[in-house]
Amino acid sequence: MGKDKLRRFAEVATFKNVVQLDAGKDFKGQWAKDFFGNNQPIVLELACGKGEYTVNLAKLFPDINFIGVDFKGNRIWRGAKTALEEGIHNVGFLRIQIESILEHFAENEVAEIWITFPDPQPQDSREKKRLTSPRFMQKYKIILQDDGIMHLKTDNDEFYAYTLEQIAAGKMPITKETTDLYASALVDDVLSIKTYYEKKYLADDKNINYVQWQFPQQG
């Protein structure tokens, strides 16, 4: 590991807006009250990378709490440092493996989940690691509120098609959907937030897929 990555790992451990590994379990069910000190809704960005979406959503919606979730501390460092430097108090970061999300968030604790440009895990043998695979979907359903919203942005057409198949199989209602976001009428201040990777894809004239969906209501 390079010296710069080591420095970031060490520095991120001192950030008050970053919670790492098992420490996040202490906030389960109480993120709004105990971490943010309020009763505002909780929104997650999974596989947040450098946290561009987390930070920019927090700027747009100061009355909502945003948490970026990723395992790579040297990437989280960028978003967390920006939030601290700019005094953005409704944003935090959680460094965990997303597989353990049920250990860190309680049932019905989360209002929305964003998945922005995740690793598509294209090999068939790695399907279970795709963030929209059935095993992950089941976890999201548990922590989301009954009217909770899911979002996916991806440049990978195959992963997008796979996700739509999972949504259809689960009979989940789609509320918004496009295979070319920036040529659609859907783009707005929220959907036009661009991550580091999205900027690279757009520079290569890659289309951006977006879908918003919910889980079926019980009863």
From 4, 22, 119, 180, the catalytic residue: 119
CA torsion, ordered 35, 41, 45, 48, to nearest 10 deg: -30
Is 45:101 a contact under the CB 8 Å cutoff? no
Is 214:150 a contact under the CB 8 Å cutoff? yes
Distance CA 175, CA 195 (A): 23
Q: Which amino acid is at 201?
A: Y
Displacement of CA 75 from its chain's centroid (Å)? 14
**Is 189 designated active site?**
no
Of the candidates 113, 78, 90, 101, the one whose C-alpha atom is nearest the C-alpha of residue 196 is 78
List active site positions. Answer: 119
